[in-house]
Amino acid sequence: MEDQQEDVDTLLAHLAEVLELKDTEPHQIASLFAITMYEKFTRSGIKQQIDTAISFAQMSLHYEHNEPEVTNGLLSNLGVFLESRYERTGDIADLEEAIQVARRAAASTPKDHFNLAIYLDNLGNKLQRRYERTGDIADLEEAIQVAQQAVTSTPKDHSNLAGYLNNFGSKLKRRYERTGDIANLEEAIQVARQAVTSTPKDHSDLAMYLDNLGSKLQRRYERTGDIANLEEAIQVARQAVTSTPEDHSDLVGYLNNLGNKLQRRYEWTGDMADLEEAIQVARRAVVSTPKDHSDLAGYLNNLGSKLERRYERTGDIADLEEAIQVARQAVTSTPKDYSDLAIYLDNLGSKLESRYERIGDMADLEEAIQVARQAVASTPEDYSDLAGYLKNLGSKLESRYQRIGDIVDLEEAIHVARQAVTSTPEDYFDLAIYLDNFGNKLESWYKQTGDIADLEEAIQVARQAVASTPKDHSNLVGYLNNLSSKLQRRYERIGDIADLEEAIQVARQAVTSTPKDHSDLAGYLNNLGSKLQRRFERTGDMADLEEANRVFGRSWTSYSSAPFTRIYAASRCLKLLFHLKQYDEAAEIAVSVTDLLPIVNAQSLDRNDRQHVISRFAGIAADACGVLLRARDPETALQYLEKGRAVILGQMIDNWSDLSSLIKAHPVLAIKFKTLRNTINARSGHSSTESDRLLAAQRRRAAAAELELCIQSIQGVPGQELFMAAQSIEAMQACAVGGNVVVVNVSHLRSDAIIVSPTGIGTIRLPSLSAADAEIWIGKQWHGLRSERGARNKEYAEFLKWLWEVCVKHVLDAIDCTKSVSIECFSRIWWIGTGLASSMPFHAAGDHSPGSTENTFNHVISSYAPSIKTLSYSRSRCSVDIGLQLKSLIATMPVTPGMKPGLDRLPGVLDERRSVMEILRHYTTVEEIEQPSAEAVIHSLEECNIAHFACHGRTNYIDPSSSGLILQRKDESWSVVQDVLTVHDLSEINLQYAQLAYLSACSTAENKAALLADEAIHVVSGFQVAGFPHVIGCLWPSVDRVCVEVARGFYALLVEQDVLRLESRGIAAALHTSVMEVRAKDWKQPLNWAQFVHYGA
């Protein structure tokens, strides 16, 4: 210790010599050097300098002297230095020590001493800092008390008074932010003005006082909406910036604050110049701040808010991605005990919600709700910003309700939205935001309950939001748009034309007040267009219909708006243009909108998100096809129909693209493609944590962006130009070898059949096949109580006759298929139904009474395909080497756990197994599995050529990818529970030897997910994706006897000259003949046999 003290004494003696401080006490030398280093730090922000200042300040306190006031001064300086280092690093230990030494200085100073005010002021600043860190109101109250003491104990002509007033004002502002008491804010502005006016223009602290005055004026603007306050705030903030040297460490804070004020003015006026400058100065603040500085998180948060605003204006996704990135940085770099963390969490949540709304990734919405909850939970109930956090949480919960339909989310959303309104003073400017938000949730609740009182309250609070917002404020257009929706909703309920007239008036106001480049414009235009169309339906005035068409057209061409919104506009526009006989314009939009569909259905989304995105555009591909056929362009119509349908199945098939030629041409790109593809399709396990799922979503997004570039690079390799490209017309025609592919397209515009033969493409109009009739027929429930089966069979027979008369008969006449009398001469047809025709039983159409030939069975062998792309894939799988010895899998579930008594047992399964086994065991090596798990089945599928399942099936109309075959497994307690081999499970396996799957299970080919009908996602298509070129499935459940008969007949017909043949025509013909044999006996019961279908090559 003595050696260390000697070293310190030597150092101080050397400093005294360098600084020419002869006859100066050691504590004074140390203190003077500490002050010198601190002043350097205040200009440079270099941490090493503040570390040195603190070391020497602490050193100065080790020397004894007989002057208590000197000690108090040294303590005060040390406290200031420690507080500065805390501001630089965020280390709470520095702040705690700073408060401790500041208290010592103040406590040991006589009340009548002129330095007491300095020490009280310093203590108050440190207590305020701790309040900002922890949110403990006791610290803030004590900070205000000692700051006020500093002011009142200082003469009015004293040079320090301005600083004390400035600091006192900052604390009052903080209490206003906590409590919302306007008196605190008014007093804060008053003392801040005093600080500015009493400070010489050339004083170095004036910039700080101006900056603080500007922050308080901004707060009053936010409270009252008086734009004059904001204009003055910007003016004084600019003065603070321009009067501060470029190399001064305080400049970044002034830039940050100026940016916030410019953003606020942009939000009022919509002037892009303000937003661009706000982003520019916010970037300067961020890049000028050291990465380890405690203020950086706040600057990042503010930059993110400005980037999000620009995204909302321009629709540029790059701004939103960067906003999320910097917002995430702000959150992750902020200590969990820091009170501003709630602000950063809330802002991150808003940006994630915006990305969810843009691309539909559920992971974004789940994370947004998670961080919004954190923001609310970490905010004291008396904090004025809590209302905003509650409002934002409510918006996210409502979005999740709209996505998955859980009423609990909507109930909570209404609860927190009401809290936000009731906890906000009536004179608070942001109350309009909370009212508008609350009104939207009440409207959603009305849609759920039908209670008119909820709608009336929604309209009332929407009117309040509009009435309390200045006419030149940019938020007004959103409130008008939302009010118009509620008025239209009431019109639709009670039919009062006055509501519709007012709805159109306010919707028109919203549109005319919105800048042409604003990303929300398309939504406002769609809203106006729908109301004009409603009025046309009421009055028949063609002027309304023509204006609606123009409005939807403007929305479609609002390129700054989100693709979802624009595609919706295009779908409305297509129908109106068709109605108005403007066919060329309709065809142009049909091509453009279909080109946009793959962009919104990003591969970065998981399967649920992709299904959700596609469901929002149900029917567009069918409408586009109808428009293009009206324009007499069948080839383009077919290509765009393929592009807009079965998108998810197409992506699944692409996952198993043959890479052999690419591996030879460019192995590095082949490996990269495969790696990226695997990353995108990686499945999160059931036990994954929320953070794991969020990371997986981030990885998918990054990989999807990189995959696009990778595919472009591959297409630049000689010989790989068509890699992952859409099918050519020639390739589609090749799929019709051996027959014809018939695509039946039904939409509300028109109905047609596109006939693809090996030599060309033709079309026939189907004017009698109306969408309205189709909706009635396909909406019927064909299976139910046994007692109703007779009536249902009779009605279904009428449906089959109708389908023959309006569709199938005309198709067969067109391809001259009605003259063949022997099945050996029958042509093949691969049916593809689109739009409303996607679930029609073309194979069974017609009159099946004895002697009748007016039916499909008597003229052609029918097969199905979800799309021409899937048919092409199935054909390619027929050529794989299946080995010398065929292998079969027979999987049966005589008993199904977890089902009601009576439904749990399938006695016919045992008979079916025996019948199938009796045939297959002579020609294949058979593996039998009874009561298997999904895992066991997947393992067995890897080696087999033929797979036969006899079990229950499960159809999920909301999430068809989770449809599957019901099997069983043992849970953690070894109890037997249901297990499901889902479509999604099947999409993740690539079977090398698969040829034929026979699914004798309920509804394995059923396609009744209305909004996803064009995707044709069902268990049968899942087996196709897995690699089976032939799949037999059922459209609905059948009786056990028929299942056994059809299966036995089918396999027997595959045997020719004592050889089991797996030829494409033979498989389709075997099912055809086997079903016809049952039909001959049960012709009055089509529900017994019409459900059996062949999908594939």
CA dist., res. 285 & res. 43, Å (int): 15
Instruction: Say if residues 603 and 680 touch (Cβ distance below 8 Å).
Output: yes
Note whether 573 and 549 are within 8 A (CB): yes
**Local structure of residue 807 (DSSP, 8 states):** I
pLDDT band at 1052 (very low <50, low <70, confident <90, very high): very high
- Predicted confidence at residue 687, as pLDDT, reads 39
Q: Are residues 909 and 1058 in the same domain?
A: yes
Same-domain check for residues 461 and 499: no
3-state secondary structure of 1056: strand
Percentage of the chain modeled with pLDDT above 90: 48
Q: What is the DSSP string of 734-795?
A: HTTTTEEEEEEEE-SS-EEEEEEETTEEEEEE-TT--HHHHHHHHTS-----GGGHHHHHHH
Confidence of residue 1017 (pLDDT cuts 50, 70, 90): confident
Look at residue 1078 in the predicted model and tell me its pLDDT: 93
- pLDDT exceeds 70 at position 23: no
Over residues 756-760, mean pLDDT: 93
The secondary structure of 350-379 as a DSSP string is HHHHHHHHHH--HHHHHHHHHHHHHHHHTS
Q: Is the pLDDT of residue 637 over 60?
A: yes
Name the β-bridge partners of 1001. Answer: 951
CB 1035 within 8 A of CB 1093: yes
Nearest in space to 325 (alpha carbons), one of 702, 57, 36, 692: 702
When mean pLDDT is compared across 307-321, 595-609, 637-651, the lowest value belongs to 595-609
- Burial class from Cβ neighbours inside 10 Å (0-12, 13-18, 19+) for residue 607 reads buried
Residue 927 has pLDDT above 70, yes or no: yes
Please state which of the ranges 260-274, 275-289, 635-649, 692-706 shows the lowest mean pLDDT: 692-706
Instruction: Tell me how far apart the alpha carbons of residues 162 and 197 are, in angstroms, rounded to a whole number.
Output: 9
Domain shared by 1012 and 1083, yes or no: yes
What is the Cα–Cα distance from 737 to 842, expressed in whole angstroms? 20
Cβ–Cβ contacts within 10 Å for residue 723, how many?
20
Say yes or no: 517 and 555 in one domain: yes
| 903 secondary structure, DSSP code | T
Q: Which two tokens stand for residue 694?
A: 């969020």
Domain range for 832: 740-870
What's the CA gap between 1097 and 1081, in Å, rounded? Answer: 29
- Same domain, residue pair 888 and 999: yes
Considering the domain architecture, whether residues 1021 and 946 belong to the same structural domain is answered as yes
What is the three-class DSSP state of 896? coil
Say what the pLDDT of residue 77 is.
87
A 10 A CB-CB count for 989 gives: 16
Q: Given CA atoms 571, 573, 577, 579 in this order, what sign does their dihedral have?
A: positive
- Whether residues 436 and 498 share a domain: the answer is no
Please report whether residue 208 resides in a domain.
no
1002 near 952, Cβ under 8 Å?
yes
Please indicate, yes or no, if residue 539 is contained in any of the structural domains. yes
- Alpha carbon of 966 to those of 896, 916, 946, 1006: distances in Å? 8, 20, 19, 15
- 846 is a domain residue: yes
User: In this structure, what CATH number is given to the domain that contains residue 903?
Assistant: 3.40.50.1460
| pLDDT score of 1087 more than 80 | yes
- List, in order, residues 6 or more apart from 595 with CB less than 8 Å away: 643
Domain assignment of residue 730, yes or no = no
Evaluate whether residue 578 is within a structural domain. no
Specify whether 484 is located in the same domain as 511: yes
Query: 827 — phi, psi (to 5°)?
Result: -80, 165
- How far apart CA 679 and CA 56 sit, in angstroms, is 55
790-799 pLDDT, tens digit each: 788 899 999 9
Which pLDDT score, from 0 to 100, does residue 48 have?
Answer: 84
Residue that terminates a domain, selected from 531, 563, 595: 563
Confidence of residue 3 (pLDDT cuts 50, 70, 90): very low
Q: What is the pLDDT at residue 460?
A: 96
Give the pLDDT confidence score for residue 550 in this predicted structure: 95
Are residues 484 and 466 located together in one domain of the fold? no
Residue 294 pLDDT level (bands cut at 50, 70, 90): confident
Q: Which residues pair with 742 in a beta bridge?
A: 755, 831
CB-based contacts of 467, cutoff 8 Å, min separation 6 = none
Q: Say which range, 679-683, 926-930, 967-971, has the weakest mean pLDDT.
A: 679-683
Residue 733 belongs to a domain = no
Question: pLDDT tier at 688 (50, 70, 90 boundaries)?
Answer: very low
Where does a domain end: 496, 529, 563? 563
Residues 890 and 998 in one domain: yes
Last residue of a domain, one of 474, 492, 519: 474
For the segment 209-216, the average pLDDT, to the nearest whole number, is 95
- Number of Cβ within 10 Å of residue 14's Cβ equals 11
Identify the H or E element spanning 226: none
pLDDT computed for residue 353 by the predictor: 94
Q: How many C-beta atoms lie closer than 10 Å to residue 515's C-beta?
A: 15
The dihedral region occupied by 20, where left means phi > 0, alpha psi between -120 and 50, and beta the remainder, is left
Token pair 């922890």: residue:
134
Edge-to-edge order in the sheet of strand 996-1001:
760-765, 751-757, 739-746, 827-835, 860-864, 1092-1096, 1030-1034, 996-1001, 946-951, 887-892, 925-930
pLDDT band for position 633 (50/70/90)? confident
Whether 484 contacts 527, CB under 8 Å: yes
Which residues have C-beta within 8 Å of that of residue 668, sequence separation ≥ 6?
Answer: none
Q: In this predicted model, what pLDDT tens digit does every residue of 74-100 receive, in sequence order?
A: 888 898 899 888 888 878 899 999 999
- Of 244-253, 411-420, 423-432, 479-488, minimum mean pLDDT range: 423-432
1065 within some domain: yes
Number of domains into which the chain is organized: 4
Q: Which residues of 544-557 are buried (b: 16+ CB within 10 A; e: fewer)?
A: bbebbbebbbbbbb
449 and 495 belong to one structural domain: no
944 versus 317: the higher-pLDDT residue is 944
1025 and 1091 inside one domain: yes
Task: Decide if 360 is inside a domain.
Answer: no
| CB burial readout 803-821, b (16+ within 10 A) else e | bbbbbbbbbbeebebeeee
